[in-house]
Amino acid sequence: MERRRPELVSTLAVRHLNVLERLWRAAKRSGVVMGVVLLLGNVSLVFFPIPHIHLCLFPLAFVLGPIIAFVSWRDRVLLPQTDLPCPRCNENVTIPEGLGGWPARANCNACAAMVELNGA
């Protein structure tokens, strides 16, 4: 039995990112994640003098940062905010502004079906 979902063809005006924009976006996201985790590590070390927090959060920051950068680097387009009909229940699914693709995924608020958008 084939579990293929119904397909719908829509036209969206996506914004293609060039290499510099993709690099800048990846660096910003990586820097934010690493900065927040390092800040949490330092603040928690002040309030909770347990060395394990310090020892675990700092390597975690330097592992999470490149992973976030790689995931951000893979996004080649940014989608505009739009509403698309859900292929299952036909309610509107709101695609948030700046969602990266491809594939871009959003969930229907009515039936919780995942809507996947692919470039053509």
Contacts of 68 (CB under 8 A, 6+ apart): 26, 29, 30, 33
Is residue 114 within the footprint of Zn ion (CB under 5 A)? no
The only residue of 32, 56, 63, 110 in contact with Zn ion, by rule CB under 5 A: 110
Figure out which of the listed residues 32, 39, 111, 114 binds Zn ion, where binding follows CB under 5 A: 111
Burial of 21 (0-12, 13-18, 19+ CB in 10 A): middle
- DSSP-based three-state secondary structure for 4: coil
Q: Does 79 bind Zn ion (CB under 5 A)?
A: no
Coil, strand or helix at 73: helix
With CB under 5 A as the contact rule, the residue among 14, 26, 34, 108 that binds Zn ion is 108
**97 backbone dihedrals φ, ψ, rounded to 5°:** -65, 135
> Residue 97 CB, nearest distance to Zn ion (Å)?
21
Q: How far is the CB of 107 from Zn ion (least distance, A)?
A: 9
Interface with Zn ion, residue 8, by CB under 5 A: no
Residues that bind Zn ion (CB under 5 A): 86, 88-89, 108, 110-111, 113
